[in-house]
Structure 1
Amino acid sequence: MAPASATGALIGYARVSTTGQLLDRQLAALTDAGCLRIFADKKSGKNIEREELTKALDYLRPGDVLVVPALDRLGRSLQDLISIVVGLRKQGVGFRSLHEAIDTTTPGGRLVFHVFAALAEFIRELIVEGTNEGLAAARARGQRLGRPPAMTPEQIRHARDLLSRPDNTVSSIARLLGVSRSTLYKHVPELASGRVAVDQPPTRHGELEAGPR
């Protein structure tokens, strides 16, 4: 991928976390740096929807350079920052951070971002490795992994006991146990064959006809 070259305009982006904070210092720094146009958000870095940043990225053209007062004004995280800068480079757009003196249109600036990208990948691999080791250790201890079952063994036993009484219906037992009918059928599969018998209690007339004459 060819490195971006600063042949276009300098476009600034500033951000503060809350509406009570002032953008004045950042705007002044970007203006002094020679930015032709400046976009500014008043939102937390954790907020995915940063409308002015989206507008700035759409405004940029090949040869332009996106300028920020500091790295933490642009990305929500190191990975997010790298993703944005890589996206800029694919468009032939450079990136400059005033506070850290990083400029991806220069060899030194590109080297710094290669190091950042390698560090982010290294951290990601450590997290994945640690997660896998934790899962393996949990399995070795016999610990159950994944979502807990919708019904506990005690609830299943209780459901079977209640269903043995003809006056109880599947719906009433499901409500009593705080589960859905489908969950009850899933965990007590023998219900499928006798659903009609337990869904509705028999009438008195039916009981008399079934009994001895």
Structure 2
Amino acid sequence: MLVGYMRVSKADGSQTTDLQRDALLAAGVEPDALYEDKASGKKDDRPQLAACLKAIRAGDTLLVWKLDRLGRDLRHLVNIVHDLTERGIGLKVLTGQGAAIDTTTASGKLVFGIFAALAEYERELISERTTAGLAAARARGRKGGRPFKMTPAKVRLAAASMGQPGTNVSDLCKELGITRQTLYRHVSPTGELRDDGHKILDRR
């Protein structure tokens, strides 16, 4: 059985799926086997794609007009096709740069294998850049992750202020740009430094 999926980026009527529909019908997809979404390619919420992938069965072939109608990005596309392949479902792209992809044929599988290799290469590059960036930061005395909300100056001001009986905790937190939870994690209600407060001062 042939199943078709269509998508346009805008739901305001300025874009239609007529061209995609005609191409899919001409390729042999029955009208009741067509699924259509009106959503940006970057959106996770594409209910008709989810319904299509759930309904399609082993031995079926999923047809799309162009490759960019299906995946949000290369990795998302590779994951979808990997899942389809594991379930014994084929993918065929009718036109555009992915028109050589037809995972029901040997040559089509080879083309998609190249796409999958590129996606894996992209993942490795991102991982390498992240690792190198963290190493460079550590070499300069910085650690990865979110920057600390508390600084040595803020810790000292918090300790001094909390030691004063007339201090308004809400006003102090607003001035320091922190939450009460963060404040009390570093300084006690009487202005004594706690472990996290000592760690901030020891980082100098």
Q: Residue 167 of structure 1: CA displacement?
A: 3.2
Q: Residue 191 of structure 1: CA displacement?
A: 3.9
Alpha-carbon separation, structure 2, partners of 1:13 and 1:107? 23
From 2, 11, 29, give the equivalent of 1:10: 2
Matched residue, 1:84: 80
Once the two structures are overlaid, the 10-residue window that deviates more, 161-170 or 22-31, is 161-170
Q: Is the 8 A contact 1:95 1:103 kept in 2?
A: yes
Shift in CA distance, 68/185, structure 1 to aligned 2, threshold 3 Å: same
Q: Which amino acid aligns with 1:27?
A: R
Q: Which amino acid aligns with 2:135?
A: A
Q: Is the 8 A contact 1:185 1:192 kept in 2?
A: no
Matched residue, 1:200: none
Matched residue, 1:167: 166
Shift in CA distance, 174/127, structure 1 to aligned 2, threshold 3 Å: closer
Alpha-carbon separation, structure 2, partners of 1:53 and 1:118? 24
Q: Is the 8 A contact 2:160 2:191 kept in 1?
A: no
Alpha-carbon separation, structure 1, partners of 2:168 and 2:9? 56
Q: Is the 8 A contact 1:14 1:39 kept in 2?
A: yes
Shift in CA distance, 93/192, structure 1 to aligned 2, threshold 3 Å: same
From 13, 16, 20, give the equivalent of 1:22: 16
Shift in CA distance, 144/54, structure 1 to aligned 2, threshold 3 Å: closer
Alpha-carbon separation, structure 2, partners of 1:144 and 1:61? 49
Q: Residue 45 of structure 1: CA displacement?
A: 0.6
Q: Which amino acid aligns with 1:15?
A: R
Shift in CA distance, 16/171, structure 1 to aligned 2, threshold 3 Å: closer
Identical-residue share of aligned pairs (%): 48
Q: TM-score, normalised by structure 1?
A: 0.78
User: 2:148 matched to 1:149?
Assistant: yes
From 44, 51, 54, give the equivalent of 1:48: 44
User: 2:60 matched to 1:64?
Assistant: yes
1:47 aligned counterpart, secondary structure: coil
Q: Residue 168 of structure 1: CA displacement?
A: 3.1
Matched residue, 1:181: 180
Q: Deviations over 1:88-109 (max 9, x none)?
A: 1111111100111321111001
Q: Which amino acid aligns with 1:161?
A: A
Unaligned runs of 5+ in 2: 194-204
Shift in CA distance, 34/148, structure 1 to aligned 2, threshold 3 Å: same
Matched residue, 1:127: 126
Q: Which amino acid aligns with 1:26?
A: Q
Q: Is the 8 A contact 1:11 1:35 kept in 2?
A: yes
Q: How many residues align?
A: 186
From 24, 35, 39, give the equivalent of 1:39: 35
